[in-house]
Amino acid sequence: MILADVFDERLIKLDLEGTDKTTVFQELVEAIAAVKPELSREDMLSALHDREAKMQTALSGGIAVPHGYFHGLKGIIGALGFSRDGIDYGVSEAEPVHLVVMLLLGEGEHERHLRVLSRILTLIESGTLSQIKDSPNPHEVYKILCKVG
């Protein structure tokens, strides 16, 4: 189960407070740091912003999948956040982002990264991720993520 290994219920936030990409990145990185205190907040943010500078990670349908390679991380760690009000992702003429699926990737995780992205895209295309907005708690969201593997 690929997504079950990447996501942790403690890293699912159904009430993001941030209203822009920068504050949401900080919010989700703080959640990761609480679970993985050995990871540097600054390095995580730098990896995400470096990738974002190369290409925006907002997709259609109000979903963004920010990701970045993080030196010193083994494996892949994911955090997920949902905002009812929407997030200004800094993309002109784009709809607000409501769902952020953040991935931090260890070096050498290219193949696994593609498999994780494939599973996430399957959830998006099937409409399964839209169920998150109606989920009562992180455990239910985790079960949704695990449906596809």
CATH of the domain at 59: 3.40.930.10
Q: Taking the model in full, what pTM does it have?
A: 0.91
How do residues 110-138 score in pLDDT, each as one tens digit? 888 889 988 888 888 888 877 887 888 99
The residue segments making up the domain with residue 40 are: 2-147
Give Cα separations from 130 to 37, 47, 53, 84, 106 (angstroms): 31, 27, 27, 12, 28
Cα Rg of the chain, angstroms: 14
What total number of domains does the chain contain? 1
Residue 91: Cβ within 10 Å count: 14
Q: Is the pLDDT of residue 58 over 90?
A: no
If we measure between CA atoms, which residue out of 84, 65, 82 comes closest to residue 6? 65
